[in-house]
Structure 1
């Protein structure tokens, strides 16, 4: 009887062991600032990213979605994922910097260990003029984001609701008409 129980325990351990694949349990970038290769950010900027050591959350916006709006009004724009904008989560073999995304030729290392594309969700952008009407502040939020890995499993504990804020300049002709 002991041999049977021991055999079952050993068999259970064998099938319960990980096959070495990375398991993503939590995606949390709320405490990380949003970055862009464009300095300053313009209304034609489409690539925004957040870096957390060896992880990155990459948001590629549809062209023209960072609309400058109207001074004195709050404008809300939505962009659906994945049909209009895309959101990608990457794990790298080592820590990365913005040069990975911004250099004309990306560095050879670190390498992408795992990449997961968002299958559903919405980017919500609220645009308002800052207090002195010199720039527009775009507050980006993510809603209903659903990451699904290659095995078809959903990633749980998603904590990226607040993507961040970016600022674009108010064109001189717009600023002049509001004075």
Structure 2
């Protein structure tokens, strides 16, 4: 009986020691949430983000990412584009990203940088609207907080869709 009690106590102590009390992320799911950006969307846009209450998914794009041509492209993350998942201590809005003077609240609780994955971009000319429609997808994305903490249970497939006038 004493051995069982000691084993139970050690198991419980190990469980508590592994949990720092912070937010544990089990799943990241931004599918169905619209893309946000600052100001008027144009071809020079380099920062796209998705807001989900206290969470954000931030996509930083290289210069001249959007072009007015029909094309399928594939980029590697993080070498060609940066993807970051952040958890805040309170609800976050687009003002956090778009202010000239950055807000001090809400505060970032955790920031996970993507350490691998693919960014797939399809652009097509919509002859009815005379716009180029872009579909942005993510594949095989893996995030890391540090060497010991990774998020791999992801439900991220679509990042979203955008359109630009052809003229």
What TM-score do the two structures reach when normalised by structure 1? 0.86
Matched, 1:101 2:100: no
The residue that corresponds to 2:3 in the other structure is 4
The residue that corresponds to 2:36 in the other structure is 35
Count of residues paired in the alignment: 165
The residue that corresponds to 2:106 in the other structure is 110
1:4-57 deviation per Cα after TM superposition (whole angstroms, max 9, x unaligned):
322221121111122223321100000211111132x11110100000000000
Contact 1:133 1:170 (C-alpha < 8 Å) held by counterparts:
no
What is the alpha-carbon distance in structure 2 between the residues aligned to residue 114 and residue 85 of structure 1?
A: 20
What is the alpha-carbon distance in structure 1 between the residues aligned to residue 149 and residue 99 of structure 2?
A: 33
The residue that corresponds to 1:86 in the other structure is 82
Over 3 Å counting, the alpha-carbon distance change for 1:38 and 1:79 in structure 2 is: farther
Matched, 1:46 2:42: no
Contact 1:120 1:145 (C-alpha < 8 Å) held by counterparts:
yes
Secondary structure of the 2:150 match is coil
The residue that corresponds to 1:63 in the other structure is 63
Matched, 1:134 2:130: yes
The residue that corresponds to 1:163 in the other structure is 159
Post-superposition offset of 1:3: 3.0
Q: Name the stretch that deviates more: 74-83 or 162-171.
A: 74-83
Contact 1:42 1:169 (C-alpha < 8 Å) held by counterparts:
no
Post-superposition offset of 1:133: 4.4
Where has structure 1 moved over 2 Å in runs of 4 or more? 2-5, 130-134, 151-154
1:99-128 deviation per Cα after TM superposition (whole angstroms, max 9, x unaligned):
111111121111000000001112111111
Unaligned runs of 5+ in 1: 172-179
What is the alpha-carbon distance in structure 2 between the residues aligned to residue 126 and residue 20 of structure 1?
A: 41
What TM-score do the two structures reach when normalised by structure 2? 0.91
